[in-house]
Amino acid sequence: MILTTSPFLLYSDGKGNIFEDTTLLATGRSGWDAVPIDLIDWMELPDGGSLYELPERKAIGIDLKTGDMRLCEKGWAVAAFIPPAHTGFYLAAYESTKQAPTLPLFCYTAAGWFNNKFYVPAIRIEKDIRQESSGYDQQKINIGTEKLLNAYPQNRLVQHLMNNCCQTYHCPAARNFSLGRWECPIPVSPACNANCLGCISFQPQEETITSTQDRLTFKPRAEEIVEFTVPHLETAPFPVVSFGQGCEGEPLLMWETIRDSILEIRKHTTKGSININTNGSNPEAVKVLCETGLNSIRVSTNSVRKNIYEAYYRPNNYSFEALAECIKVVRSFGGWASINYFVFPGMTDSLEEYEALRKFILDTDLNMIQWRNFNIDPDWYLGKIGVTETGECMGVNKLLQNIRNEFPHLKFGYFNPPIERIKGNFELDFAN
Ligand code: SF4
């Protein structure tokens, strides 16, 4: 449903209570600027979404009477965390006070109130239902956890996945593993060769933010990996097993263990897809993994511009060019290649980034873009990478349309597709 008028701005009383300000219309943020949001860009806040109050930040709205932008003085600004499978078009627009604390590593999408409902400028970009909040039954997850812990008492990785990832961090992938379905996570690396500002598994002591989970502390053995992944590939619907998770460093630093695991897995089963989520730092290692049987790769990036990438990833011993090389290697073996593209309104949809993205897609023969919301404090991010001016922007919705029109073969989504979508009908229906 296209709205007939913009939603009202939201504010909080700082005690967790949220109100609409009927004198102000909600705006969005693009880079450092507050901007009006087109009516067509709004959708109801999807199930599984949540709202945040942003301390020491005053929301920017459009005055209904004057049409001018002004601050809401009634309370703190409010933002939405939109659930997986949805991509946000604009960030929450606010002005920070000097006392404003750095926000934790979540995404801060704009939000508004209309007809007794919360609205966000976003789109459902992925039809796969693997992380629908309504699909998680905690009782069944607890039973599945118990079953796996009893089935693999000596397996350190299963212990980690069930006790930490599933039961503590509530990782959607680990919960799906406990339910014996879809994508199963395989964290393997306690170390990383990058130093991402917004790393979710490791934050330096001196930083004011904390990582959302602790990094793996041991190096799994190939036999520990094979022990639970073969049964998962054999029995789960639309099975995918994925190296490279949020609770570890860079999996390619463990490429020998991954090589040995894939070799052994494929001796026992040909089912499903074996995927790696990576920072794309080592094309030679990726070549070995493809020769061994890797089916797909997802390379993470905040930008396809070298200077913006390296300012955020701060790579130790590799350069931005390695990312494209890794993708080309996988494509040369007929494998599936995606980028895990951290969408930041005002950066991702800038004309400079758009031109770089068009070139990257053509250069790499990429199969898919996973348009992921960037989980980071906007002021902190732009400040840290030294961006004071983002240049002309077209809007994330327009960017999606342009890329879709120019590259009709390129798939859009949010998750690593199973082999049934890679080799078969990409539009297959998951619900049935
Ligand atoms: S590549 Fe991943 S693990 Fe390494 S620093 Fe970046 S976010 Fe952290």
Ligand 1 atom showing the smallest separation from residue 215 Cα:
3
Q: How many CA within 13 A on the CB side of residue 281?
A: 22
Q: Residue 429's pLDDT is what?
A: 67
Cα(251) to centroid of ligand 1, in Å?
A: 10
Q: Which residues line ligand 1 (CB under 6 A)?
A: 192, 194-196, 199, 201-202, 249-250, 279
Contact 222, 281 (CB under 8 A): no
Name the residue at shortest CA distance from atom 8 of ligand 1: 199
Is it the case that residue 276 has pLDDT exceeding 90?
Answer: yes
pTM strictly above 0.95:
yes
Q: Residue 39's pLDDT is what?
A: 96
Ligand 1 atom showing the smallest separation from residue 202 Cα:
8
Ligand 1 atom showing the smallest separation from residue 189 Cα:
3
Name the residue at shortest CA distance from atom 3 of ligand 1: 249
Q: What is the residue-averaged pLDDT of the chain?
A: 97
Is it the case that residue 428 has pLDDT exceeding 80?
Answer: no
What is the full DSSP assignment across 224-245?
HHHHHHHHHHHHSSS-EEEE--
Q: Residue 425's pLDDT is what?
A: 82
Q: Residue 226's pLDDT is what?
A: 98
Contacts of 212 (CB under 8 A, 6+ apart): 104, 105, 169, 200, 201, 246
Q: What is the pLDDT of residues 199-237, one digit of tens each?
A: 999 999 888 899 999 999 999 999 999 999 999 999 999
Cα(278) to centroid of ligand 1, in Å?
A: 9
Q: What is the pLDDT of residues 8-28, one digit of tens each?
A: 999 999 999 999 999 999 999
Cα(301) to centroid of ligand 1, in Å?
A: 10
Q: Are strands 18-26 and 28-30 parallel, antiparallel or unpaired?
A: unpaired
Cα(195) to centroid of ligand 1, in Å?
A: 6
Candidate from 105, 188, 189, 192 with most ligand 1 atoms within 8 A of CB, to mutate: 192
Buried b (16+ CB within 10 A) or exposed e, 141-163: beebbeebbeebeebebbebbbe
Q: How confident is the model at residue 61 (pLDDT cuts 50, 70, 90)?
A: very high
388: its two tokens: 């004071």
Ligand 1 atom showing the smallest separation from residue 195 Cα:
5
Q: Residue 264's pLDDT is what?
A: 98
Ligand 1 atom showing the smallest separation from residue 192 Cα:
4
Is it the case that residue 432 has pLDDT exceeding 60?
Answer: no
What distance in Å separates the CA atoms of residue 329 and residue 41, rounded to the nearest whole number? 37
Q: Residue 427's pLDDT is what?
A: 81
Cα(291) to centroid of ligand 1, in Å?
A: 25
Ligand 1 atom showing the smallest separation from residue 249 Cα:
3
Is it the case that residue 431 has pLDDT exceeding 60?
Answer: no
Is it the case that residue 320 has pLDDT exceeding 70?
Answer: yes
Candidate from 105, 189, 197, 202 with most ligand 1 atoms within 8 A of CB, to mutate: 202
Q: How confident is the model at residue 430 (pLDDT cuts 50, 70, 90)?
A: low
Cα(250) to centroid of ligand 1, in Å?
A: 6
Q: What is the pLDDT of residues 125-184, one digit of tens each?
A: 999 999 999 999 999 999 999 999 999 999 999 999 999 999 999 999 999 999 999 999
Q: What is the pLDDT of residues 399-420, one digit of tens each?
A: 999 999 999 999 999 999 999 9
Q: Residue 339's pLDDT is what?
A: 98
Distance of CA 193 to the CA centre of its chain: 20
Contact 105, 376 (CB under 8 A): yes
Instruction: Please state the φ and ψ torsions of residue 356, each to the nearest 5 degrees.
Output: -65, -35
Q: Which class in CATH covers the domain with range 139-422?
A: alpha beta
Ligand 1 atom showing the smallest separation from residue 300 Cα:
1
Q: Where in the chain is the domain with CATH 3.20.20.70?
A: 139-422
Cα(307) to centroid of ligand 1, in Å?
A: 17
Cα(190) to centroid of ligand 1, in Å?
A: 11
Length of the chain: 432
Is it the case that residue 348 has pLDDT exceeding 80?
Answer: yes
Cα(263) to centroid of ligand 1, in Å?
A: 26
What distance in Å separates the CA atoms of residue 366 and residue 328, rounded to the nearest whole number? 8
Q: What is the pLDDT of residues 323-342, one digit of tens each?
A: 999 999 999 999 999 999 99
What distance in Å separates the CA atoms of residue 52 and residue 320, rounded to the nearest whole number? 34
Percentage with pLDDT > 90 across the chain: 96
What distance in Å separates the CA atoms of residue 346 and residue 31, rounded to the nearest whole number? 4
Mean pLDDT of 85-100: 97
Cα(42) to centroid of ligand 1, in Å?
A: 32
